[in-house]
Amino acid sequence: MLAHNVLTLALLVPAVASSVIHPTRRQSSLDSFIQSESTVALQGVLNNIGADGSSVPGASAGVVVASPSKSNPDYFYSWTRDAALTIAMVIERFMAGDVSLETVIQQYITAQAKVQTITSPSGGLSNGAGLGEPKYNVNLTAFTGDWGRPQRDGPALRATALIAYGNNLLSTGKQSVVKTNIWPIVQNDLNYVAQYWNQTGFDLWEEVKGSSFFTVAAQHRALVEGSAFAKSLGQSCDICDSQAPQVLCFLQDFWNGTSVISDLANDGRSGLDANSVLSSIQTFDPNSSCDDTTFQPCSARALSNHKLYVDSFRSIYDLNSGKKSGEAVAVGRYPEDVYQGGNPWYLTTLAAAEQLYDALYQWKKQGSLAITQTSLPFFQDLDSSAAPGNYSSSSSMYSSVTSAVKNYADGFYSIVQQYTPSNGSLAEQFTRNNGTPISARDLTWSYAAFLTAASRRSGAVPRSWGASKANQVPSQCQGGFATGTYATPTVSSW
């Protein structure tokens, strides 16, 4: 029967078969790849978390190691950023029903209570400065070597992860455990963000000292949801309320009219950087409209930026040759990158897909899609009939544009599929000339990025953080002037 069907198709409708059946087949192969690779990716994450992770012997309980690689490069450390982003993904899967993950979440929180007390070259807890330390030894001691420090995104990302789990516990009536075990850690992080957001630091790639869009965007989100979290515990975060609008005000400075300039620093770069795309997925709010001031994934700003960012890699990687504008390509951190040869990364190519899945969710939820002069170039690459206007979900423009965006997003995922080795392991990068995996092996963040993009593609989204009520930019920006307070957190039983 199978042979007969194939033969019939081949003989009777060859021309149609090649244009219609092929995309369907590719789609189903992408679906099954995502399904099987998701299992590998989740195991890949768990293998890199102490104390039981099989790839990271020596790591303490709840410590998320960046990669098992100990040389060229040595990533056998726990970065506050990578760990928080990874645990945020784990929390989302826990909330979606994988209850086996709760122990690792609680162990992470217990470990972070200890981390906050570690005095490092960034400083200690008494004035909060130590919270900006980017990475720690896997046995929960300070890393004392030279490094690009401080990095001020870590406390914000950690607060966001802990708040997600805290809100889940609150929804099951566990107020006192949240107040005892989670709030003190979150409170320190919120105070740090409110006190230090207006000072320079190193960006998420640990190279540029200045002001980083990703850091500021993550900080704004943390302050906004931190204030609401405090209220739901009968507490308050006045310092969050006073600083959040100013952080949003500063965030606007990174927009140049067509793209985000990811670092405000004297770095001689174009400013096009995955930093910006990662920001839009970090601050994605499923309950928000396509708001420009918070750079929501479906905003005209974020879409225009997506195009300029992606286009900056079209001609520089051999891997992308022959791809037309509007076709997905392999993308890296920023076009000027030379680290390990300056290659595409799995997590950035996945982020390019994830932003678009987020946008599709937002358009579907609001039942319409706007094309403005700012976003027109993005849309026209995907559908030459795109024109400015507001299109309801019943219009043919809405259907054709959203289906083009979905195909484009899947195209980034298919590139990841193409360059994933058959055993499913995801390194940090794949080479720009032939796509061979390179740099740190089994990068925890690569696996986490695979899983969050897969969730968004399937329509699963996190909770709202209140973006739609925190998008008013003050008429005049002011610098920071708040001083935080800090206290030693302890975690008792759960």
Ligand X SMILES: *[C@@H]1O[C@H](CO)[C@@H](O)[C@H](O)[C@H]1NC(C)=O
Q: Enumerate binding residues for ligand X (CB under 6 A).
A: 137, 139, 141, 198-200, 211, 249-250, 256-259, 261, 270-272, 287, 308, 370, 388-390, 421, 423, 425, 437, 464, 466, 468, 477-479
Catalytic residue among 206, 207, 241, 267: 206
Using the minimum distance from each CB to ligand X, give the nearer residue, 131 or 461.
Answer: 461
| Contact by Cβ (8 Å): 378, 306 | yes
Rounded least distance, CB 23 to ligand X, Å: 29
- The percent of the chain in helix, strand and coil, each rounded to the nearest 5, is 50, 5, 40
Rounded least distance, CB 312 to ligand X, Å: 8
Burial status of residue 6 (CB atoms within 10 A of its CB: 0-12, 13-18, 19 or more): exposed
Using the minimum distance from each CB to ligand X, give the nearer residue, 78 or 407.
Answer: 78
Q: Which of 132, 130, 131, 156 is CA-nearest to residue 244?
A: 156
Q: How far is CA 179 from its chain centroid?
A: 27
Using the minimum distance from each CB to ligand X, give the nearer residue, 214 or 410.
Answer: 214
Distance between the two ends of the chain, CA-based, in angstroms? 58
Using the minimum distance from each CB to ligand X, give the nearer residue, 123 or 466.
Answer: 466
Provide the 8-state DSSP code for 60.
P
Using the minimum distance from each CB to ligand X, give the nearer residue, 175 or 200.
Answer: 200
Using the minimum distance from each CB to ligand X, give the nearer residue, 211 or 407.
Answer: 211
Rounded least distance, CB 463 to ligand X, Å: 7
Q: What is the CA radius of gyration of the chain?
A: 22
Rounded least distance, CB 199 to ligand X, Å: 6
Amino acid at 219: Q
Using the minimum distance from each CB to ligand X, give the nearer residue, 389 or 459.
Answer: 389
Catalytic residue among 37, 82, 189, 203: 203
Neighbours of 406 (CB within 10 A): 16
151-189-483 Cα angle (round to 5):
90
Residues facing 390 on adjacent strands: 370
Q: Which of 326, 329, 302 is CA-nearest to residue 314?
A: 329
In angstroms, the CA 59 to CA 137 distance is: 8
Provide the 8-state DSSP code for 323.
P
Rounded least distance, CB 96 to ligand X, Å: 18
Rounded least distance, CB 389 to ligand X, Å: 5
Q: Which of 331, 363, 329, 350 is CA-nearest to residue 452?
A: 350
Q: How far is CA 63 from its chain centroid?
A: 20
| Contact by Cβ (8 Å): 80, 31 | no
Rounded least distance, CB 390 to ligand X, Å: 4
| Contact by Cβ (8 Å): 82, 428 | no
**336 included as an active-site residue:** no
**206 included as an active-site residue:** yes
Annotated catalytic residues are 203, 206
